[in-house]
Structure 1
Amino acid sequence: MPTTHGQINWIELPAADTAKARAFYGGLFGWETSEFPGDYHVIGNGPEGAIVPREDGFSHPRVYFATEDMDASVKQVHELGGARAETQTVPGIGRIAHCHDDQGTPFSLFEPA
């Protein structure tokens, strides 16, 4: 994934039943998916993203914005009145941080490896 600072570069669509969600979006948009561990289904011929299991606190689409410097971006989130969870490293992929803006709207940051 090329990184352009501030651009949406990944989405995750949470579903109570990922098989039903894959059938729905496959029927609606023709999306095909590849399964990864954890019932995580990467969309192969649609937007950059995945269909994933719904969890407590994760019931709406999650949007990831690209950053070229995770540490600087999470510092700015805090300075601007937002909040973030711990930065996580995804081996071979990069780093992510789930955040909220100063009004409580959730978003995530992604810095490629």
Structure 2
Amino acid sequence: MKLINNYINYVELKANDLHKIKSFYSGVFNWKFTDYGPDYTAFSESGIAGGFEKTATPVVKGALIVLYHEDLNLIQHKIIGSGGRITKEIFSFPGGQRFHFEDPSGNELAIWSEN
């Protein structure tokens, strides 16, 4: 899949039990999973790429929409200049970097880059 700036690229969900969530989605929808350590599993064959992050807290804001942008610093400055708020500074993960932000209504999203 070609990566395009500003397009929704990934959906991240929370789960209290990764084994149970994988069993549910693979059994019901035939999704495939790839584990990235004990606290994260990515899914495929679902129509959009995504993953589940293990959490011990109750799931309140279930989905995290993840957009792609090749220049995280540039897009971060545009978000701040347009009234958004950075909630998690740029951090590295296997495969790239990302940060989280809230839009003016309080919706949390993330933006990632492979750079």
Which TM-score bucket, shorter chain as reference?
Answer: 0.7 to 0.9
Which residue type is aligned with residue 21 of structure 2?
A
> Counterpart of 2:112 in 1: which secondary structure?
strand
Alignment of 1:28-47 (within 5 A): 28-46=28-46, 47=48
* 8 A Cα contact 2:16 2:58, kept in partner: no
Q: Is the CA contact (8 Å cut-off) linking 2:97 and 2:113 kept in structure 1?
A: yes
Give the Cα–Cα distance (whole angstroms) in 1 for the partners of residues 56 and 100 of structure 2: 14
The answer on whether the counterparts of 2:6 and 2:69 sit within 8 Å (CA) in structure 1 is: yes
Letter in 2 for 1:49: G
Q: Does structure 1 retain, via aligned residues, the 8 Å contact 2:16–2:57?
A: no
Shift, 1:57, TM fit = 8.8
Whether contact under 8 Å (1:100, 1:106) holds in the other structure is yes
**Alpha-carbon deviation of 1:44?**
3.4
Distance (Å, rounded) in 2 between the aligned partners of 1:4 and 1:75: 19
Q: 1:97 matched to which residue of 2?
A: 99
After the TM superposition, which of the residue ranges 11-20 and 37-46 deviates more from structure 2?
A: 37-46
Fraction of identical pairs, as percent: 23
Q: Distance in 1 between matches of 2:56 and 2:89?
A: 18
Query: TM-score w.r.t. structure 2 length?
Result: 0.85
User: What is the alpha-carbon distance in structure 1 between the residues aligned to residue 83 and residue 26 of structure 2?
Assistant: 39
Q: Distance in 2 between matches of 1:68 and 1:57?
A: 33
28-37 or 100-109: bigger deviation: 28-37
String of CA shifts for 1:70-109, please: whole Å, max 9, x gaps.
1111001111111112111225x22100110011110000
Aligned length: 112
Q: Which residue identity is paired with 1:87?
A: I
Question: Structure 1: any 5+ residue segments left out of the alignment?
Answer: none
Asked if 1 retains the 8 angstrom alpha-carbon contact of 2:15 and 2:59, the reply is: no
Tell me, yes or no, if structure 1 residue 86 matches structure 2 residue 89: yes
